[in-house]
Amino acid sequence: MKKAMKTAGLLAEKLTYPAVRRGDLVETLHGIQVADPYRWLEDPDSPETREFVTQQNDVTQRVLSEMPFVAETKARMTELFNYEKYSAPRKHGGKYVFSKNDGLQNQSVLYIQDELHSDPRVLLDPNLLADDGTAALSSRAFSEAKLKDGKLFFAHGISRGGSDWQTIKVMAVHDNNKILDDTVEWVKFSSIAWTHDDKGFFYSRYPPPEKMKDDKHDDAEGPKRGTETDSNMNHQLWYHTLHTPQSQDKLVYAYPSEPTFNVGAEVSDDGKKLLLYVQDGCKNANMIHVADLSDFENFLKGPSDATIAVTKLVDNMDAAYSYILNDDDYYYFKTNANAPRERVVRTKLGDGSVAPEWEEVIPEQPDAIVIEGVH
């Protein structure tokens, strides 16, 4: 450590930092003049900001390249990280799916196999989607595959360059992993939930940022998704019908009076209900609103601006709730309501006119978080 600090100190003595322009911007806020000379740096895509970042990176790389322990540390970390990594297999449509990383791959590869002991084959390799390895698999969901035709679809989001934005594509697994034309953009902080007829899926999105609203794909010379500094507001839940353009997608639900709310969705095990998770920011708490899917086909044919009717099962953000499963009319949830270490509760869905009656199934344990994962 002393050697590293001494080396860094000697290098710092030789450093010449790039000059940074001070602007003359002054704003009057609540009657007080506030100077903001570096406001121009808040536009990450301007030529001047890009040049500033390049110069700063050059200085950093010069320092790192002259530190003798950098190469040694990199070699050791590479050695330690170079081992095969597997996820547990999960069953979808009668097949088994798991991810594997050979050791130093930028992204893990998704594999599929027909039986537990059959040979796996590649389902999706994100490493082939970008030369620099920064295309990552994000949200994902297989169709229910409960239809007799044996078709299995895989909706998956791809994010690039570390951005939270993702573009959803759909793979026909039954058709030699063919990627369909379906493309769903401007998706962020989203789950993917298929209806049980396999005709489409729910997803969450924002309106495109103002300066990117006409952008359909990242341009090497233009703004990169994820570099914008706009605040994302008005998260919305949408439904995409398979084999149709995104322009025909149907708005399912939104909270226009609460622009900071985020909304995600999950379809119940029996396919009869849509559960909406509503959060505000990063708080570990959410509301649960429930919609009936029995007449969903007619809802899709209705007015484009009409949203689905919901029952407010949990209408406050005092605790976190996550759906586990349902047994007929009983719906089971994991929650930290009155249980910091979490517990499992159940309730019957009503019409929202009276508060739900919660029955404890697995109580909170005094010495451990026992509800680590529930399926």
Confidence of residue 369 (pLDDT cuts 50, 70, 90): low
Structure tokens at 24: 């003359």
Query: What is the tens place of the pLDDT at every residue in 19-47?
Result: 999 999 999 999 999 999 999 999 888 99
pLDDT of 338 higher than 50:
yes
Quick one: average pLDDT of 320-333?
A: 94
Least trusted range by pLDDT, from 55-59, 111-115, 217-221, 225-229: 217-221
Query: What is the tens place of the pLDDT at every residue in 165-210?
Result: 999 999 999 999 999 999 999 999 999 999 999 999 999 999 988 7
Angle formed by the axes of helices 47-65 and 2-14, nearest 10°:
130
Domains of the chain (ranges, CATH numbers): 2-80 (no CATH), 84-267 (2.130.10.120)
pLDDT of 213 higher than 90:
no
pTM for the model = 0.87
109 three-state secondary structure: strand
Taking a C-beta distance cutoff of 8 angstroms, is the pair 232, 206 a contact?
yes
Q: What is the pLDDT of residue 355?
A: 82
Higher pLDDT, 63 or 157: 157
Q: What is the pLDDT of residue 221?
A: 39
pLDDT of 305 higher than 90:
no
pLDDT of 106 higher than 90:
yes
CA Rg value for the chain: 25
Query: What is the tens place of the pLDDT at every residue in 221-257?
Result: 345 676 666 788 999 999 999 999 999 999 999 999 9
Higher pLDDT, 70 or 96: 96
Structure tokens at 340: 């910091």
Read off the DSSP letter of residue 159. E
Confidence of residue 66 (pLDDT cuts 50, 70, 90): confident
Structure tokens at 275: 């559960």
What gap in Å lies between CA 204 and CA 235, rounded to an integer? Answer: 7
Q: What is the pLDDT of residue 64?
A: 87
CA nearest neighbour of 286 among 307, 256, 266, 257: 266
What gap in Å lies between CA 293 and CA 299, rounded to an integer? Answer: 9
Quick one: average pLDDT of 138-144?
A: 94
Angle formed by the axes of helices 2-14 and 69-81, nearest 10°:
130
What gap in Å lies between CA 120 and CA 60, rounded to an integer? Answer: 44
Q: What is the pLDDT of residue 367?
A: 81
pLDDT of 56 higher than 90:
yes
Confidence of residue 57 (pLDDT cuts 50, 70, 90): very high
pLDDT of 216 higher than 70:
no
At residue 67, φ and ψ (nearest 5 deg) are -85, 120
Q: 219 CB contacts (<8 Å, ≥6 apart)?
A: none
Taking a C-beta distance cutoff of 8 angstroms, is the pair 223, 214 a contact?
no
